[in-house]
Amino acid sequence: MNLKQLEYFVRVAELGSFSKAARILDIAQPALSRQVRLLETDLRTVLLQRTGRGVVLTESGKRLFEHSMGILQLISLAREDLEATRDEPTGRIVIALPPSMGRLLTLPLVDGFRESFPKAKLAIVEGLSTHITEWIGTGRVDIGLVLNPEAQEAIEVQPILDEPLCLVSPAGVDSTDHRFAAGTDANACVLFEDLPQYPLVIPERTHAIRKMIEAQAALAGIKLQVAWEVSGVQSILDLVRRGHGHAILTHGAVLTSGLPMAFRTSRIARPQIFSRLFLASSAHKPTTPLMRQSMRMIAELIRRQVSTGNHINS
């Protein structure tokens, strides 16, 4: 067993295909298959099960995959640590973004890396906040943006942005409705205790915002009226726009929806509840110069987006 075989095995497992991995690794597929077979022979176990659609990990393969990720991550850190002595960020970094932030931050991140870290390599992946924290814990991702994460010993978080949650309704909702406080759309609000009057389109129970809202509802002794459970922000807004209910999101989610005039947002008051955005990294992995400078770049990009009105979605 050698490091190159582990690298080949991990890439095939991640992509689920020998042909795709061969293209990415720039190696002939027969040579790639031969190296993986040598690894299986050396370990005296089957690591990958071939199917009609590619390959999947066996139970032994899953165990080796976790070990391999840690080994390759340590090798990468060793290289980066040695390169860092040259006073220039180098190496490869994997940054995870929630899907709602991908279209806002991917392009400026790539542009920023090209200008500031010409010798570094950047990979960007997208996933829900719960998945991103798992990826950081297993070493698949170096840093990530997560919304309202639960406390975990393996994850360090740094607050970046707070946005108040709002009740999002179709634009046709009458502003004189007694359930809304008087005022313009910009400063309208709805009391938290009145939320049970609204049929809600909200994410399923494992979603961070759903947990926050239901925890507060339990404290207030009220029960929310859940009409539909949908996790995608854009899908939630589509349902609200078509009159299927109301949503609980940030005002920024509405502004970046593409159709902000189709909705009315009213701040939730007494109490006011915030969606909090954090930068997350591993608590057990050394922080390289590239990671530190990347985190500063991400924080600056978010501040710039907010200052120019491009709010961050929930």
pLDDT tens sequence across 205-259: 877 788 888 888 999 899 999 999 987 788 889 999 899 999 998 877 787 677 8
pLDDT-based confidence at residue 9 (cuts at 50, 70, 90):
very high
pLDDT-based confidence at residue 179 (cuts at 50, 70, 90):
very low
Q: What is the reported pLDDT for 88?
A: 67
pTM for this one? 0.60
Do 21 and 30 contact (CB within 8 A), yes or no? no
Q: What is the reported pLDDT for 59?
A: 94
Last residue of a domain, one of 56, 85, 114: 85
Do 27 and 9 contact (CB within 8 A), yes or no? no
Mean confidence (pLDDT) of the chain: 84
Range of the domain at 259: 163-275
Q: What is the reported pLDDT for 208?
A: 76
Count up the domains in the chain and report the number: 2
pLDDT-based confidence at residue 34 (cuts at 50, 70, 90):
very high
CA distances from 149 to 93, 129, 139, 285 (A): 22, 7, 18, 19
Task: Convert 65-113 into a string of H (helix), E (strand) and C (coil).
Answer: HHHHHHHHHHHHHHHHHHHHCCCCCCEEEEEEECHHHHHHHHHHHHHHH
**Residue 314, pLDDT above cutoff 70:** no
pLDDT-based confidence at residue 276 (cuts at 50, 70, 90):
confident
In a domain, residue 292? The reply is no
Residue 139, token pair as written in the block:
């070493």
Q: What is the reported pLDDT for 173?
A: 56
Do 1 and 37 contact (CB within 8 A), yes or no? no
Last residue of a domain, one of 275, 292, 308: 275
Residue 166, token pair as written in the block:
């709002």
Among 278, 282, 280, 298, CA closest to 73: 282
Cα–Cα distance, 255 to 166 (Å, whole number): 12
Do 257 and 234 contact (CB within 8 A), yes or no? yes
Q: What is the reported pLDDT for 125?
A: 92
Across the strands, what pairs with 228?
201
Mean pLDDT value across residues 21-32: 91
Return the CATH number at 227. Answer: 3.40.190.290
pLDDT-based confidence at residue 10 (cuts at 50, 70, 90):
very high
Q: What is the reported pLDDT for 178?
A: 38
**Residue 279, pLDDT above cutoff 90:** yes
Cα–Cα distance, 210 to 205 (Å, whole number): 6
Q: What is the reported pLDDT for 210?
A: 84
In a domain, residue 50? The reply is yes
In a domain, residue 7? The reply is yes
Cα–Cα distance, 4 to 44 (Å, whole number): 18
Q: What is the reported pLDDT for 95?
A: 94
In a domain, residue 135? The reply is no
Task: Note the pLDDT tens digit of each residue in 45-101.
Answer: 999 998 888 899 999 999 999 999 889 888 888 877 776 655 567 788 999 998 767
**Residue 174, pLDDT above cutoff 70:** no
Return the CATH number at 1. Answer: 1.10.10.10
Q: What is the reported pLDDT for 255?
A: 75
Last residue of a domain, one of 65, 85, 105: 85
In a domain, residue 181? The reply is yes
**Residue 307, pLDDT above cutoff 70:** no
**Residue 177, pLDDT above cutoff 70:** no
Q: What is the reported pLDDT for 182?
A: 33
In a domain, residue 152? The reply is no
In a domain, residue 108? The reply is no
In a domain, residue 116? The reply is no
